[in-house]
Structure 1
Amino acid sequence: MRIFSVDALSLLPLADWLALALFFVGWVGYAAFARRRAATRPSILGLTNRARHAWMLRATARDNRVFDGVVTQNLSSSPAFFASTTILIIGGLLAVLGTADKAAELARELPFAARTSALVFDLKVVLLTGVFVFAFFRFTWSIRQYSFGALLLAAAPQRDEAWTEPERQAFADRAGGVMGLAAESFNDGLRAYYMAFAAVAWFIAPWAFMAATAAIVALLYRREFHSDVLRLLAQP
């Protein structure tokens, strides 16, 4: 076991291992940080979830909910598009693995690209493939959650049926919560796309990988907690 661990560690230089560790710490750590941060200060997801709750509450007062169904369908079309695109990307990356030697030679011809073996090149492609596989699962889960929200919306009582204000609020909490979970899953998939750009920088050099990871995390933080659209959404 010790010999295996030493051999595994020798596959990559120390700088590459540090860059890889920073990538996963930045990705997973930022996701956990953003979730905790959103509980204490406004965020894009938190403010849009508030709008989703208001949407579901107003839907209970409408006789015709065709408009609400159209909105739900439009919201689910974005993760459906990204899920389809992700399948194509995964297929392309798997094809690259089948021609690793030629692809590695092409990568070494890039300006400032680090010279690596075909095995290390495969590891980089596998990392990218794993990122997009994760994104695919999050996008498809988002689609399913939107379908659950559509079912709740379709099963809601009509406006003229007898239901109390607490029941309307409870429905808005439940249906709005499902829509919010769908949006969160979609957000996770988009975040994976952003992190994939950082992983691409690994083909250049480990220092570029680390710099790209830090830049992507900073960009995500700025857009989720300090963007212009956030200030507009926060207005009463």
Structure 2
Amino acid sequence: MTQLIDAITTVLTTLDLVAFGFFLVIWSVYTFLADNSPLRHKSISSAMDQQRKAWLQESLKREIRMLDTGVMQILITGVGLFASTTIFVIGGIVAGISYTGELSAAFSSLPFIVANTAEMWVIKLGVLLAIFVYAFFKFAWSVRLANYCSILIGGLPKPEDAGEQKSIRKAEAAATISSLSGHHFNRGVRAYFFALAAVAWIFDPVLFMISTVLVVAILARREFSSKSLAAIRSVSDL
């Protein structure tokens, strides 16, 4: 590990290292604030968790739950699409790592782009690869949790058969699994946003830092002050 770190610090410039460190810190801080701090309760994710709970408690009143399983199928299909797409992205990046010399030569002739050696291309593409591998694991686990939730929904008993309290507890368990699935899906989508910022590193480390700040601003607005959040909150107490 020490040799790897030494190799990276030798290949990258000081500005590259600062930009990469800035990227990691910003991503980590935003993730903590959005997912683990008290600020999370003001997010659209938290508002949707409440709606999931209301949805599955409402499903207890239905004789046939085809509507609920249909909703879950839509959710699973959406997450699965991201997971399969991520595999293709990973394959493309792996292929790109095999042609770093050609990439270095091709981009060196473009204006307003910092020159990248073949070794720098390997590192920068390796960072992108790590981000998308992380995203794939998040999407894959989200799909599994969504499947588990579908099974729990299928096993929800009628309140008159199993008792109201037992039925509510099972509905709450299904809502918790659904919320966890959504949480991991959000982490995967967030990785896509930060991967777009990391693409800017190929062109310029300063642009990399600017892109990171812009990504956080976009994510924060959509998570904490979007029109979608206002619409969801407007029906939360109805």
- Could you tell me the TM-score, scaled by structure 2's length? 0.93
What are the residue-to-residue correspondences of 1:85-104 with 2, within 5 Å?
A: 85-104=85-104
Structure 2 partner of 1:230: 229
Structure 2 partner of 1:125: 125
The unaligned stretches of length 5 or more in structure 1 are none
| SS of alignment partner, residue 161 of structure 2 | coil
Alpha-carbon distance change, 28 to 55 in structure 1, aligned in 2, over 3 angstroms: same
- What is the distance in 1 between the residues matched to 2:3 and 2:127? 24
**Contact residue 142 and residue 183 of structure 1 kept, 8 A:** yes
Alpha-carbon distance change, 128 to 5 in structure 1, aligned in 2, over 3 angstroms: closer
What are the residue-to-residue correspondences of 1:66-215 with 2, within 5 Å?
A: 66-158=66-158, 160-164=160-164, 166-215=165-214
Larger deviation, residues 96-105 vs 35-44? 35-44
- What is the distance in 1 between the residues matched to 2:3 and 2:101? 27
- What is the distance in 2 between the residues matched to 1:134 and 1:191? 11
- What is the distance in 2 between the residues matched to 1:226 and 1:11? 41
> How far apart are residue 106 of structure 1 and its match?
1.9
Q: Deviations over 1:207-233 (max 9, x none)?
A: 000000111011111110011111111
- What is the distance in 2 between the residues matched to 1:12 and 1:152? 50
RMSD: 1.8
> How far apart are residue 41 of structure 1 and its match?
4.1
- What is the distance in 2 between the residues matched to 1:114 and 1:93? 20
Alpha-carbon distance change, 104 to 3 in structure 1, aligned in 2, over 3 angstroms: closer
Q: Deviations over 1:3-32 (max 9, x none)?
A: 986554222111100100011111121111
The one-letter code sitting in structure 1 at the alignment partner of 2:143 is: I
Alpha-carbon distance change, 2 to 61 in structure 1, aligned in 2, over 3 angstroms: closer
- What is the distance in 2 between the residues matched to 1:90 and 1:144? 21
Q: Deviations over 1:181-204 (max 9, x none)?
A: 000111000000000110000011
The one-letter code sitting in structure 2 at the alignment partner of 1:10 is: T
> How far apart are residue 171 of structure 1 and its match?
1.9
Taking CA–CA contacts closer than 8 Å with sequence separation of 6 or more, which of the two structures ends up with the larger relative contact order? Answer: 1
- What is the distance in 1 between the residues matched to 2:50 and 2:178? 11
> How far apart are residue 110 of structure 1 and its match?
3.3
Larger deviation, residues 110-119 vs 211-220? 110-119
Alpha-carbon distance change, 15 to 113 in structure 1, aligned in 2, over 3 angstroms: same
**Contact residue 132 and residue 192 of structure 2 kept, 8 A:** yes
- What is the distance in 2 between the residues matched to 1:45 and 1:130? 25
Alpha-carbon distance change, 62 to 188 in structure 1, aligned in 2, over 3 angstroms: same
The one-letter code sitting in structure 1 at the alignment partner of 2:175 is: G
> How far apart are residue 45 of structure 1 and its match?
0.5
Alpha-carbon distance change, 229 to 23 in structure 1, aligned in 2, over 3 angstroms: same
| SS of alignment partner, residue 113 of structure 1 | coil
**Contact residue 19 and residue 209 of structure 2 kept, 8 A:** yes
- What is the distance in 1 between the residues matched to 2:7 and 2:177? 47
| SS of alignment partner, residue 11 of structure 2 | coil
Identity %: 32
- What is the distance in 1 between the residues matched to 2:85 and 2:51? 28
